[in-house]
Amino acid sequence: MALRGTPLSQFSVDERMRWALKRKTKKKEDQAYCLLGIFDVSIPLIYGERDKARVRLLEEIEKSLKRQSIETIDTWIRQKCYSATNLRIERLSGHDLEMDQCYINLAIVQHHQDAPSSGDENAFSGDNQTAHQSSPFSLLTRLHVKERYEGTHIPLPAIFDPRRGRHGDKDLPRRILIRGQAGVGKTPLCKKIVFDFISAGMWDEPVLPYPLDTSAEVKSDVFFSTHEYPESAALELHKAINDPKSTHTLFILDGLDEVSQDFAKDSDIFQLLLYLLNRPNVVITSRPYATLPRGLDSFDLELETIGFYPEQVTTYLRKSLSDPSKVEKIQSFLSDHWLVQGLVRIPIQLDALCLTWDDGDSFVEAPETMTCLYQAIELKLWRKDIVRLCERHPDRSPPHSTDLQDMGRRGIEMFVEDEIMLLETLAFTGLHNDIMDFNADLVETICESSECLKQIFVPKKILQNVSFLRTSEPSSTNKRKYYHFLHLTFQEYFAARYFVRHWKNQHQLECLHFERSRLIKGRTEKLSPAGFLQEHKYSIRYNILWRFVTGLLQDEEAHVMHFFEVVQDPLDLLGPGHQRLIMHCLSEVTRSNSPSNFTSVRQDLEMTLSDWLRFECNFHGQAELAREIEFPEKVVCSMLRNESEGVRVAILGSLARRPRIQLSIIMVVISFLEQSQPASIIKAALMVLERQSSLSSDSVEKVAARLDHKNRYVRRAALTVLQGQSSLSSESVERVAARLEYEDRHVQQAAIRVLRCQFSLSSESVEKVAARLDHKDWHVRWAALTVLQGQSSLSSESVERVAAQLGHKN
């Protein structure tokens, strides 16, 4: 064998065993032991066992071959399946997204039994993390955009770390469910886990990423389509993952919602799906409201994707755009448009914004509403898609690039009329039936059932070549390939276009109904747009659609006024639901572009909103409507200036729970820091300012002046505001340091927390802090030590005070 110059591992077991057939040995056992080097295995040498030595040798050879086979397959999967091409994340521009820009933010889903109780020692410690949550009715909540302090943030590398379960015991999460809307990064998350597995050792055992929308045709080619022996490799992999002694392979199953409704529960393919889902180590992704199949084992950990954090938006812009001035202009634009700030925290929306920012470094007209932003994105993507669509259709000649850039909305919409009509109909029909994923059969059924789509030429080519749709498996030629809109809001936008087109033309809506279990077409119902609006205006499913509808109608006064007339009749008997609908729709009608006659309509609607808010404050003692950032800021400012003390305190309390507050409201709140205001107003105003980390120096001085207020709760609230400011004037620092002389330990602790955030303190302030080391309360002593720890130089007296603490019993 050696003379043939081939590695021994390339010879079969029988060939290598024949080498010892004619070899003579003094002891029977050596007939087996002489082959140890040939097979590169080792077993204990036990003389006297005779033929049992051969049995032990064959067992060890079998184990060795199994290990070698799995190692070979594992190496092959790493090199072929985990290649840069397969882990590629494509941006809307067609360029690749670098993995270091792939920010995946996750939060633990809190079930009712998991929520901290009032008796939990951590429930109200430090900052109140539940105080600044978005209203459950707000746009940001519906988009699953959260602040870092909302929910329980968990870094991606830590999802497998030990944590306390529902029953208080500490476990290693091994079965993990991650929910998220389209466009928030579920598929990039799966690729990121694989990337981290390769580069950072996130998981020590083999990782198998598996797109579930291919499970309808599971074959050996899922992983081994380019392998020399695909069937054999698949068989070895199957044996390995079914070995009871080897349960560490991590399965990453992407897109449960795309297949969970497709298969009969007694079918072989469903049993295979359930087998994959119930693996002991698995990460499964799904849409937020997908129904989990029966027979699914429980999860150790449930997470949700929550979009970018504000600082990640800034980092993404800097890395995506090479021109610093362009980054600065986008940031300036975002700072002036609170709604867009929230929208671009959705990854796909931020990518669209970067692509939409035109060659002139700004929008031709800065969008003031969500609808305006989506219209700008739509035009930019159509300009990009027209070229590609023309390449796929030889009978369509693309316009010159200059003409294309100069082409207005009307020209572009005429050029892609069929494509727009298809997207509108798919979006509306899907939204009406709670369908977010469209395969070829479903699209064909919708086209055949819709009067306006019967003339559409080859819809499949449209699906493959428009930027508004994506598929989780771009390379698949599978007939079952599913398409979805970039994000649910894009589906809602095109559904709104469908509604508006019928509203303006006074045509009836074609409402196709599908059976959810098999997506079998049922009846087709025709409704007038006004009738559909009255039937579904309070439905959560259509909330964002009605916002878009209002924004799309605002350019034509008669249509937008008629829309609000229909909305007003009949009214919701419970009231608040109707007022929320009104303020959500009003937020999409820009004040600058409001038709003259509509101005009076807006004033009447805003007057009704103020009446409802006043009623809430007086009857319930709280202002829930004011929690929503869509509530007209003009109304909020007016009521803060003119209402009674109780109403103002209630409104300020609701504003304090908002994650973001408009500048005009902030200025009114700061004006309440005057000494003449009641203590309840000043305290409530300070609580609103707690999370405003970039107050002007003048505003900071007004806050610091309240440190001398006679009410201790006002003083503590002022200290909390100052704690969030990175830099204080020397006068403000001295005011804070003076609080250290106060007897209330809570005030002293708050003052020390403020000083701890300052990089350099005067010697006098340091001495005042050091004096707190003699305080009888250990909380105060500990807080003082943390302040002194951050100072570069201390006096000898301060050092001696610190040294004295080393001998303290506590």
Residue 7 lies in a domain: yes
- Domain boundary residue among 514, 544, 574? 544
Mean predicted confidence (pLDDT) in 690-703 = 86
Cis bond before residue 570 (omega within 30° of 0): yes
Residue 160 lies in a domain: yes
From 228-232, 504-508, 709-713, the region with the lowest mean pLDDT: 228-232
- Domain boundary residue among 291, 307, 323? 307
Please report which confidence band the pLDDT of residue 763 belongs to, taking 50, 70 and 90 as the band edges. confident
* DSSP state, residue 469: E
Co-location of 25 and 140 in the same domain: no
Q: What is the pLDDT of residues 261-287, one digit of tens each?
A: 656 667 777 777 788 888 888 888 888
Question: Quick one: pLDDT at residue 136?
Answer: 62
- The contacts of residue 400 (CB under 8 Å, 6+ apart) are none
Q: What is the pLDDT of residues 345-373, one digit of tens each?
A: 888 888 888 887 754 445 666 678 889 88
Mean predicted confidence (pLDDT) in 735-761 = 74
Please report which confidence band the pLDDT of residue 213 belongs to, taking 50, 70 and 90 as the band edges. low
Residues 237, 223: Cα–Cα separation, whole Å:
10
Question: Quick one: pLDDT at residue 500?
Answer: 98
Question: Quick one: pLDDT at residue 272?
Answer: 76
Co-location of 295 and 405 in the same domain: no
In terms of phi and psi (left: phi > 0; alpha: psi -120 to 50; beta: otherwise), the region of 480 is: alpha
Co-location of 431 and 502 in the same domain: yes
For residue 314 the two structure tokens come to 């800034």
Angle between helix 529-536 and helix 557-567 axes, rounded to 10 deg? 40
- The contacts of residue 318 (CB under 8 Å, 6+ apart) are 324, 327
Mean predicted confidence (pLDDT) in 526-554 = 94
What is the rounded average pLDDT for all residues in the chain? 78
Residues 237, 71: Cα–Cα separation, whole Å:
10
Most confident of 72-76, 257-261, 759-763: 759-763
Residue 390 has pLDDT above 50, yes or no: yes
Co-location of 54 and 180 in the same domain: no
Mean predicted confidence (pLDDT) in 532-548 = 94
Residue 205 has pLDDT above 70, yes or no: no
The structural domain count of the chain equals 3
From 115-119, 154-158, 397-401, the region with the lowest mean pLDDT: 115-119
Question: Quick one: pLDDT at residue 276?
Answer: 80
Residue 10 is part of which domain span?
A: 2-80
For residue 257 the two structure tokens come to 């919602």
Residue 466 has pLDDT above 80, yes or no: yes
For residues 573 and 599, the answer to whether their CB atoms sit within 8 Å is no
Question: How buried is residue 652: exposed, middle or buried, by Cβ count under 10 Å (0-12/13-18/19+)?
Answer: buried
Co-location of 400 and 538 in the same domain: yes
Co-location of 146 and 72 in the same domain: no
Co-location of 107 and 192 in the same domain: yes
| Residue 597 or 7, more confident | 597
Question: Quick one: pLDDT at residue 245?
Answer: 60
CATH code for the domain in which residue 196 is found: 3.40.50
Provide the whole-model pTM.
Answer: 0.78
Question: Quick one: pLDDT at residue 122?
Answer: 35
For residues 561 and 585, the answer to whether their CB atoms sit within 8 Å is no
The residue among 764, 649, 773, 754 whose CA lies nearest residue 703 is 754
Residue 343 lies in a domain: no
Please report which confidence band the pLDDT of residue 246 belongs to, taking 50, 70 and 90 as the band edges. low
Question: Cα 161 vs. chain centroid, distance in angstroms?
Answer: 21
Mean predicted confidence (pLDDT) in 79-104 = 74
The residue among 741, 678, 676 whose CA lies nearest residue 714 is 678
- Domain boundary residue among 544, 569, 599? 544
Percent of the chain with pLDDT over 70: 74
- The contacts of residue 366 (CB under 8 Å, 6+ apart) are 333, 336, 337
Mean predicted confidence (pLDDT) in 514-536 = 81
Residue 615 lies in a domain: no
Residue 390 lies in a domain: yes
* Distance linking the first and last C-alpha atoms of the chain: 76
Q: What is the pLDDT of residues 442-460, one digit of tens each?
A: 888 888 888 777 777 666 7
Mean predicted confidence (pLDDT) in 47-52 = 78
Please report which confidence band the pLDDT of residue 476 belongs to, taking 50, 70 and 90 as the band edges. low
Please report which confidence band the pLDDT of residue 288 belongs to, taking 50, 70 and 90 as the band edges. confident
Residue 218 has pLDDT above 50, yes or no: no
Q: What is the pLDDT of residues 621-645, one digit of tens each?
A: 889 999 988 899 999 999 999 999 9
Co-location of 404 and 505 in the same domain: yes
Question: Quick one: pLDDT at residue 503?
Answer: 97
Q: What is the pLDDT of residues 311-338, one digit of tens each?
A: 888 888 888 887 888 888 888 888 877 7
Question: Quick one: pLDDT at residue 240?
Answer: 63
Question: Quick one: pLDDT at residue 753?
Answer: 79
Co-location of 75 and 23 in the same domain: yes
Co-location of 409 and 285 in the same domain: no
Mean predicted confidence (pLDDT) in 637-656 = 95
Co-location of 174 and 65 in the same domain: no
Residue 710 lies in a domain: no
Residue 770 lies in a domain: no
The residue among 618, 620, 612, 622 whose CA lies nearest residue 580 is 612
Residue 661 lies in a domain: no
Question: Quick one: pLDDT at residue 733?
Answer: 77
Residue 118 has pLDDT above 50, yes or no: no
Co-location of 149 and 298 in the same domain: yes
